[in-house]
């Protein structure tokens, strides 16, 4: 069954692309189509959009077949944008064109940024192919690229005219990638949907690790609930002056943990890092008792390690993790704040943190993991 979510200047369609996209295009007058995709999605979905005359730009070049939605974050750069803008000029795109971003989070962020800035902005749609992009990255108009080693340092807010999420793409994702997107679904449940959180608690972790284990209808249910939370938050606060900060739950620690492990032999996926980050942020910082969303629901500390292979964080990493947190662009005047879900859905508690608090939380996180391992 198809579902539609409406934002003030955008819509999100959940259902088979073969139905949702042609129906939407039927009432539009676009004269040119420019598809930005990645080599793996190109191989999985070549010609699947049925748009005669469309020009395609494949980030990373056309390569071997693989899994939809994979472009390394290292390609989310100004150099790649330059190639995309050059191809747009080469195709003589003008404002009657529609840019179609077909891929995972990197394609949504970078393709959207290129469309939003080319000739002062072309209409673009997001066709997310990864779970992470379907539930989070493709929705809400945060667009950007990495610059001088800083993630998403250059970017703009601009909503796509529409987002088309087709759960069929999930079948092509490996277990680790599915789990990565699932962390954002958990986040959305914890910040705004107690019923979704209940449902997550009833799932077997293996059912997420294997895309085929959950029925298509179950995936649609999870996506529907998760996208609903995301679209509600973005509608309330499109430019992150307030409640949208709640979408960063788990990400203040998570981004720093992800960056810390990135140059090691065993980097984390974004979702694994966010899962670890949610644990660190949900843990009590001062021994005064934990504040958990939804009436002290301490289940978060049991459920998350069940789904994610959380790893201990060595004491030697603590200073680097604090330094990375200080670099986050969301800090104001050098103060690091955690945006934590409060007792009511869609309510937020901002908590200032410090180097000492961060180290305490990391230590408690390690203790929690050790205790979980002993059970
Ligand atoms: N992914 C967080 C946000 O859209 O604000």
Residue of 136, 157, 229 to test ligand 1 pocket, by largest number of atoms within 8 Å of CB: 136
- Closest ligand 1 atom number to CA of residue 248: 2
How far apart are alpha carbons 372 and 302 in whole angstroms?
8
Between the CA of 238 and the centroid of ligand 1 the distance, in Å, is: 10
- Which residues have C-beta atoms less than 6 Å from ligand 1? 136, 140, 142, 244, 247
Residues with active-site annotation: 120, 142, 184, 230, 240, 244, 248, 251, 255, 270
Probe residue for ligand 1, chosen from 244, 245, 271, 273 as the CB with the greatest number of ligand atoms within 8 Å = 244
pLDDT tens-place values along the chain, 375 residues long:
789 999 999 999 999 999 999 999 999 999 999 999 998 888 888 778 889 899 999 998 765 555 555 677 888 999 999 999 999 999 999 999 999 999 999 999 999 999 999 999 999 999 999 999 999 999 999 999 998 877 888 999 999 999 999 999 988 888 888 999 999 999 999 999 999 999 999 998 888 877 667 888 889 999 999 999 999 999 999 999 999 999 999 999 999 999 899 888 999 999 999 999 999 998 876 655 455 554 445 788 888 999 998 999 999 999 999 999 998 767 777 789 999 998 889 999 898 999 999 999 999 999 988 887 766
Secondary structure percentages of the chain, helix, strand, coil, to 5: 50, 20, 30
Provide the pLDDT for residue 2: 86
Q: Of 275, 350, 361, which is closest to residue 318 (Cα–Cα)?
A: 361
* Strand, coil or helix: 316: helix
* Nearest partner of 351 among 240, 208, 273, 253, judged by Cα: 253
| Interval between CA 360 and ligand 1 midpoint (Å) | 27
Domain with CATH 3.40.50.1970 in the chain: 3-172
> Which of 305, 303, 275, 307 is CA-nearest to residue 198?
303
Nearest CA to 83 out of 126, 118, 43, 130 is that of 118
Closest Cα to atom 4, ligand 1: which residue? 140
Atom of ligand 1 nearest to the CA of 184: 1
Helix H or strand E segment including 302 = helix 300-307
Class of domain 3-172: alpha beta
Task: Residue 107: count other Cβ atoms within 10 Å of its Cβ.
Answer: 30
Q: Give pTM, 2 decimals.
A: 0.92
- What one-character DSSP code corresponds to residue 133? I
Atom of ligand 1 nearest to the CA of 140: 4
**DSSP strand pairing (162-165 vs 32-38):** unpaired
Can you list the alpha helix ranges (DSSP code H) found in 203-299? Answer: 205-209, 216-236, 251-261, 270-282, 293-296
Q: Would you state the pLDDT for residue 11?
A: 97
Residue by residue, DSSP assigns 167-220 as GGGGGGS-HHHHHHHHHHHHHHHHHH-HHHHHHHHHS-HHHHHSTTTS-HHHHH
Return the residue whose CA atom lies nearest to atom 3 of ligand 1: 247
The beta strands (E) that lie in the chain are given as 3-7, 10-14, 32-38, 55-59, 97-103, 123-128, 142-147, 150-157, 162-165, 336-341, 348-353
Residue 61 burial (CB < 10 Å; 0-12/13-18/19+)? exposed
Q: How far apart are CA 314 and CA 266, in angstroms?
A: 14
d(CA 26, CA 309): 45
Residue limits of CATH 1.20.1090.10 in the chain: 240-374
For the domain covering 240-374, report its CATH number: 1.20.1090.10
Are the beta carbons of 132 and 104 closer than 8 angstroms? yes
Find residue 145's DSSP bridge partners: 154
Q: Looking at ligand 1, which residue's alpha carbon is closest to its atom 5?
A: 247
Q: Point out the ligand 1 atom lying closest to the alpha carbon of residue 139.
A: 4
Nearest-CA residue for ligand 1 atom 2 is 247
């Amino acid at each position: 069954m198809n579902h539609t979510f409406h934002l003030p200047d955008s819509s999100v369609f959940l259902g088979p692309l073969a139905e949702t996209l042609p129906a939407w295009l039927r009432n539009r007058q676009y004269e040119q189509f420019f598809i930005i995709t990645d080599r793996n999605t190109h191989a999985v979905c070549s010609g699947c959009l049925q748009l005669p005359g469309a020009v395609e730009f494949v980030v990373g070049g056309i390569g071997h077949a693989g899994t939809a939605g994979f472009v390394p974050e290292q390609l989310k750069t100004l150099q790649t944008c330059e190639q995309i803008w050059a191809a747009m000029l080469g195709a003589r795109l003008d404002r009657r064109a529609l840019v179609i971003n077909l891929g995972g989070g990197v394609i949504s962020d970078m393709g959207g940024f290129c469309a939003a800035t080319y000739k002062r902005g072309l209409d673009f749609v997001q066709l997310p192919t990864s779970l992470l992009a379907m539930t989070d990255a493709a929705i809400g108009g945060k667009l950007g690229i990495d610059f001088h080693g800083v993630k998403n340092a250059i970017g703009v807010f601009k909503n796509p005219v529409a987002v088309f999420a087709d759960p069929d793409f999930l079948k092509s994702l490996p277990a680790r990638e599915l789990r990565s997107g699932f962390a954002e679904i958990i986040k959305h449940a914890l910040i705004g949907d107690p019923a979704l959180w209940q449902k997550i608690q009833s799932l077997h972790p293996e059912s997420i690790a294997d895309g085929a284990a959950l029925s298509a209808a179950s995936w649609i249910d999870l996506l529907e609930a998760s996208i609903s939370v995301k679209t509600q938050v973005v509608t309330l606060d499109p430019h992150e002056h307030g409640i949208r900060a709640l979408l960063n739950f788990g990400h203040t620690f998570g981004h720093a943990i992800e960056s810390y492990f990135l140059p090691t032999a065993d980097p984390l996926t974004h979702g694994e890092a966010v899962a670890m980050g949610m644990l660190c942020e949900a843990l009590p910082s001062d021994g005064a008792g934990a504040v958990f969303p939804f009436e002290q629901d301490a289940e978060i500390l049991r459920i998350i390690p069940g789904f994610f292979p959380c790893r201990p964080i060595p004491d030697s990493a603590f200073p680097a993790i604090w330094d990375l947190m200080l670099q986050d662009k969301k800090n104001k005047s050098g103060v690091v704040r955690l945006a934590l879900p409060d007792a009511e859905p869609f309510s937020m508690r901002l908590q200032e943190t410090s180097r000492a608090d961060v180290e305490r939380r990391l230590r408690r996180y390690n203790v929690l993991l050790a205790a979980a391992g002993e059970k």
